[in-house]
Structure 1
Amino acid sequence: MGVRVRGGDLMRYLRLFWVQLTSMRTALLLLFTLAVVAIPGSLLPQRPVAPIRVSDWKAANPAVADLYEKLGLFDIYHSPWFAAVYLLLMISLVGCIIPRIGVYARALRTPPPRTPRHLNRLPASVQGTSTLSADEALAAGQKLLASRRFRTRRDGDSVAAERGYLREFGNILFHLSFVVMLVGLGWNSLWGYKGEVITVEGQAFSNNLTQYDDFTAGAAFTPADLAPFTVWIDRFTAKFETGEVQRGAARVFQADVRVAHADGTPEKARIEVNQPLVVDGTKIHLIGHGYAPVVTVTDPQGHVAFSGPVIFLPQDGNFTSLGVIKAPDARPDYLAFEGFFLPTAVVDERGPHSVFPDALSPELFLTAWTGAPRTETGVPESVYSLNKTGLTQMRTADGTLVTFKIAPGQIVDLPDGSTLSFDDWRRWTKLQVSYEPGLWLVIASVLIAVAGVSASLYVRPRRLWLRVSEQEDGTLRVDAGGLDRAESATGLNDDVAALAAAAGAEASGTTVSPTSQEDAP
């Protein structure tokens, strides 16, 4: 027998769910949950940033790779459950803040509360007599309160005052900053993009999808959103510490470039670490560099099979760099070389390695590979690794494997009649090109949060009251009292005493409580 839910019950359950979702406790719990679910993003490689590292990790951990893939742990920030927590947090914050804004708006329109009957029961109070008239005493007290930025309300024989409305405004501003931040992050996630490109000195790249080595973008991104510009890398300068202390430490990394828009002439600029170049709202950061030896390979017929710089990737702090030189147009056989570029080469018991990151005595250490020419398939192939399928290491006539070292300006004659010359070396730079349209909104949210916290910490909500009454002997009795609406506030006693003094009272008694309390009716 099925269970029927009446319309009234359903609405009651929905209302209860909404109340729980929009409570501050739930908002804080969701914020904590969002931080927790983001942890795998820093512990595991993420596919949009490092797809090769993801493949390597999965190969090394086959037992859990499929499970992690199904859970979306290799792309945390685009997974459905991360988006669900994100959206619930947004709804919770909005649903929590909007009612508070309404309450605060009503509080701003509401005058200070009426004067309590027994002022002497407040945390701080003063009683005395005054030689002024009732109107003069109330007017003087009201004037003092207004000068100290209290909102006042005169009601018959008393004056009520209150200040500190900015404290709640600061709280609302602080929580509103989280909503602004989430909007900014969502804006970046949908319309932003980030790409990385390696460019050798003397070469250029255009802001086009085909130019990038790695590229990630939001769901709303289209290639037409790419700003049309070109950057030439004219020179990259790297300087290292040569002294005994911190030897090899980086001192200068900078790229001198030229930038041109689609219809403009190139303009000179410079990119340094933490000093990006901004072009049409797109930021270009310098995030890496290395060496690119310039080589020429000729086949046995003397034809140039390859000529130009080849990017070698650094493996340690002294820039021992690994790379591959490919000459697919060599005939009759395909030629390739694999090995190391050492900027300051040393050969010892550890084998060949670099002992300093600058190119003081550069050398190439290579092994030669050969095989049948390959058919072009159109499938992209990594320029940083060698597919050795169908290749064999080249040997001399006596069967010795061909391995050699070569310095700039030298040429090596290979057993099959081909040659390799080490013509020169250049530096390459790795640039990160990013467009984050919502970044200014995220920064604004941080500033809003700081302003809100400052207001909530330093603004002291306080209420003061002053009452005058004529006694049987014809003298004017003055009663002043006050309370603080926040913990750790100071100066309440001084304000109450000053209010009574402004009304012309000569104090006859005071009551002071060590802690503040909200006793206002």
Structure 2
Amino acid sequence: MSTVAPPRPAAAPQPPARPSAGHRALGLWLRWWRRLTAMRTAIILLFLLALAAIPGSLLPQRALSQNNVSQYFADHPTLAPLLDRLYLFDVFSSPWFAAVYLLLFVSLIGCVVPRAVEHARALTAAPPPAPRRLLRLPDSAALPTPLAEAAALDVVEEELRVARFRVVRRSGDAGPELSAEKGAWKETGNLLFHLSLVALLLGLAGGKLWGYEGSILVTEEQGFCNSFQQYDTYSAGPLVEGGDLTPLCVDLEDFRAEYEEDLTAASFTADISYGAPGEEGRPTTIGVNDPLRVDGDRVYVTGHGYSPRFSITLPDGTAFTDVSAPFLPADQATMASEGALKLPDLGAGTDDQLAIEGFFAPTGVLQGGILTSIDPRPLAPQVAILAYQGYLGLDSGLPQSVYSLDADQIERGRLTEVGRANLSVGETLELPDGTAITFDGYRQFAALQFSHDPGQLWVLGAAISLLLGLLALLLLRRQRVFARAEPAPDGGGTVLTVGSLTRGGGESATRFAELTDRLRTALADRAPAPPAPPSGGAAPEPEALPSDR
């Protein structure tokens, strides 16, 4: 006797497995990565980068002019500290600007590189097959012709190849067909534009990381060597060390400034000699828009001014000849300049130090007893000086400008005014202790800027390719043409169905009409001629009409 086993209870349905924390984190990261690498995000970041650069254009920047930043703090004592906390005086080196810059860089790379790989595959791929219903395309037409199917497609292929289409012939279910396309360089231009933008950002970043520049005022018959210790202002990238500076020395031999009739500056030219330290200098002439270029480095002329010359004779007979200092222009129209000359070492036997604060006028006139300048050319040079004696505070450890006296030393009485005078060339001011200060004339100085930017050629090439890509993107059109040959319904000849798809232009209907006109003409030229009437013998007489019988 057999027994039947009782049915086993069905297993209870198991709940779906929940994704692990690692899978959830990976999914979240992929979603954010797709959002970051979307073209819309790249455009938004590019707009934010341009918006972030606006404060750097409106507010003074420490990297360009520390004096202008200090003046802004003096003019706006309440607002300036708040702006400084937001890095608005160091916009292009601020953390938030670097963050936007880096995000834009990553977004462009993540967006463009996959598209470039996909486009490279599309360039080698054949045009797609013709759609099943060509007459549903926006631009389509049916062209009857007495030619055979293959001969009709031969005519279309010839016309399209003349127009520089890539053509592929296929045998479809509905009959022989043809696919053609051109304008793939439009997408190439689009990718070239974005890849060039990435290269441009790379070049600018490289120039900031490994580049440096310094500015210095050099008086005629003097010079400088490329060392950050000699520059008046110096800025360098975070990856630049002192030993990385190019070994180069520049001597200023002569400076010339030419002016128009309305006294506006026409040109600044400087005769210089340059070379490595210890080598004989090579002479050349540079100007404002004609810098010295040496192995990628550039030396610019950015301005000029005057350095008054003095001779100082102490009571004990000690003489200091040809002592000068650059006076900075206070008025660019007349080149009226202000400056200071400091003599901390006057020799043994005296603890006092001498300082001269002055006003130089290239073409000086007295107006109400006050010296002023009426012409930027040195037609009648004069100088108004105030002489001080006392303690200059140069060894106090506190920074002070070389172009002006420390007002704090004067207010505390450590510097005492001992004389003042307006002097023409050759005139002398006698101080109470017997010190004689003689105005001997002037020399001109040039404001020179040394710039090292290893990314400049990279940026130039990227900018050129960016423009080429933009031209291709704007001027080229992507167009596909399909054609299919089918037997005519009446059994005589062929019906040629032609369709077109055009991207990047609003003239698709006009272009398609021109194409169909050329095809009709070519098909008519290839069509066989009608049979000629038989030759010889008399032509048959026409049959008489019924009314004539």
Q: 1:39 to 1:5 in 2, by over 3 A?
A: farther
Q: Once the 2 structures are TM-superposed, how far is the Cα of residue 458 of structure 1 from its aligned partner?
A: 1.2
Paired with 1:377 and 1:315, the residues of 2 have a C-alpha distance of 29
Q: Tell me what 2:514 maps to.
A: 494
1:430 paired to 2:430: no
CA–CA distance in structure 2, aligned partners of residues 236 and 467 of structure 1: 78
Which deviates the most, 71-80 or 326-335? 326-335
The corresponding residue for 1:410 is 427
**Distance in 2 between the 1:104 and 1:491 partners?**
26
Which residue of the partner structure matches residue 16 of structure 1? 31
Distance 1:392 1:106, change over 3 A: closer
Query: 2-side partners of 1:372 and 1:351: how far apart?
Result: 28
Cα distance change, pair 498–320 in 1 and its aligned pair in 2 (3 A): same
- Determine the structure 1 residue equivalent to 2:496: 478
Partner of 1:148: 163
Give CA deviations for 1:205-259 in whole Å, capped at 9, x if unaligned.
1112222111000011112221112111110001222x4xxx2111231001111
**Counterpart position of 2:417:** 394
Going from structure 1 to structure 2, the CA distance change for 1:161 and 1:373 (only over 3 Å counts) comes to closer
Cα shift at 1:371: 1.6
- The residue matched to 1:235 in structure 2 has which SS? strand
Whether the 8 Å contact between 1:94 and 1:179 is mirrored in structure 2 is yes
- Amino acid of the residue matched to residue 497 of structure 1? D
Name 1:122's counterpart in structure 2. Answer: 137
Note the alpha carbon deviations across 1:286-324, whole angstroms, 9 max, x for none.
001000011112222221257422110110120110011
Cα distance 1:102–1:505, how it changes in 2: closer, same or farther (>3 A)? Answer: farther
Query: In the alignment, residue 345 of structure 2 is paired with which amino acid?
Result: D
Q: Is the 8 A contact 2:324 2:341 kept in 1?
A: no
* Structure 2 residue 225 is matched with structure 1 residue 206: yes
CA distance in 2 between counterparts of 1:50 and 1:91 reads 32
Letter paired with 1:237: R
Q: Which amino acid aligns with 2:112?
A: I
Q: Secondary structure at the match of 1:329?
A: coil
1:21-420 map, 5 Å:
21-156=36-171, 157-241=176-260, 243=261, 247-262=262-277, 264-305=279-320, 307-316=322-331, 317-330=333-346, 331-349=350-368, 351-372=370-391, 376-377=395-396, 381-388=400-407, 389=409, 390-395=413-418, 402-420=419-437
Tell me, in whole angstroms, the C-alpha distance in 1 between the residues paired with 2:386 and 2:314.
16
Rounded to whole Å, the distance in 2 between the matches of 1:110 and 1:161 is 12
Higher RCO (CA 8 Å, separation ≥ 6 residues): 1
User: CA–CA distance in 2 between the matches of 1:171 and 1:310?
Assistant: 56
Change (3 A) 1:131 1:55: same
Query: Where does the alignment leave 5 or more consecutive residues of structure 2 unmatched?
Result: 1-18, 528-549
Corresponding residue SS for 1:42? helix
For 1:394, the aligned partner's letter is E
SS in 1 for 2:78: helix
Question: Per-residue displacement from partner, 1:331-380 (whole Å, max 9, x unpaired)?
Answer: 35222121200000011148321000000000010112112576745665
User: 1 CA distance for matches of 2:463 and 2:521?
Assistant: 44
Contact 2:165–2:182, Cα closer than 8 Å, also in 1: yes
Task: Give secondary structure in 2 for the equivalent of 1:315.
Answer: strand
* Aligned counterpart, 1:515: none
* 3-state DSSP of counterpart to 1:132: coil
Q: Does 1:467 align with 2:484?
A: yes
Comparing 208-217 and 65-74, the one that deviates more: 65-74
Which of these residues, 455, 461, 464, is aligned with residue 447 of structure 1? 464
3-state SS of paired residue (2:229) = helix
Within 1, Cα distance between the matches of 2:150 and 2:502? 27
> For the residues of structure 2 that align with 1:260 and 1:99, how far apart are their CA atoms?
48
CA distance in 2, matches of 1:322, 1:235: 22
Q: C-alpha distance in 2, partners of 1:175/1:208?
A: 39
What secondary structure is seen at the aligned counterpart in 2 of 1:473?
Answer: coil
Shift in Å, 1:503: 4.3
Distance 2:522 2:316 in 1: 108
Q: Match of 1:513? A: none
Question: Could you list the per-position Cα deviations for residues 385-432 of structure 1 after superposition, in whole angstroms to 9, with x for gaps in the alignment?
Answer: 11251434435xxxxxx3211111222222220010111211000011
SS at match of 1:180: helix
Tell me the equivalent position of 2:545: none
The one-letter code matched in structure 2 to 1:302 is G
Question: Aligned with 1:81: secondary structure?
Answer: helix
Give the distance between the partners of 2:45 and 2:99, measured in 1 at CA: 10
1:107, 1:332 → 2: CA distance?
85
Distance 1:46 1:306 in 2: 39
Larger Cα-atom Rg:
2
The 1:375/1:54 distance shift into structure 2, 3 A limit, reads closer
Residues 129 and 505, structure 1, Cα contact 8 Å, conserved in 2? no
Evaluate the alpha carbon distance shift between residue 36 and residue 350 of structure 1 in structure 2; reply closer, same or farther with a 3 A threshold.
Answer: farther
The DSSP-based 3-state class of the residue aligned with 1:491 is: helix
- Which residue identity lines up with residue 33 of structure 2 in the other structure? W
Q: Distance in 1 between matches of 2:124 and 2:259?
A: 66
Letter paired with 2:141: V
Contact 1:482-1:496 within 8 A present in 2 as well: no
Deviations 1:80-119 (A, max 9, x none): 1111111100011111112211332232233222223333
Please give the alpha-carbon distance, in whole angstroms, between the structure 2 residues aligned to 1:8 and 1:492. Answer: 52
Could you tell me the TM-score, scaled by structure 2's length?
0.85
Mapped to 1, the partners of 2:484 and 2:519 lie a distance apart of 11
Identical-residue share of aligned pairs (%) = 38
Cα offset, 1:163, TM superposition: 0.8
Measure, in 2, the Cα distance between the counterparts of 1:367 and 1:5. 82
Q: Contact 1:137 / 1:504 at 8 angstroms: preserved in 2?
A: no
Q: Which moved more, 1:266-275 or 1:5-14?
A: 5-14
Matches within 5 A, 1:506-521: none
Structure 1 unaligned regions, length at least 5: 396-401, 508-521
CA distance in 2, matches of 1:141, 1:95: 41
Paired with 1:310 and 1:467, the residues of 2 have a C-alpha distance of 87
User: Which residue identity lines up with residue 492 of structure 2 in the other structure?
Assistant: G
Q: In 2 relative to 1, CA 169–75 (structure 1 residues): closer, same or farther, beyond 3 Å? A: same
Name the SS for the 2:130 alignment partner: coil
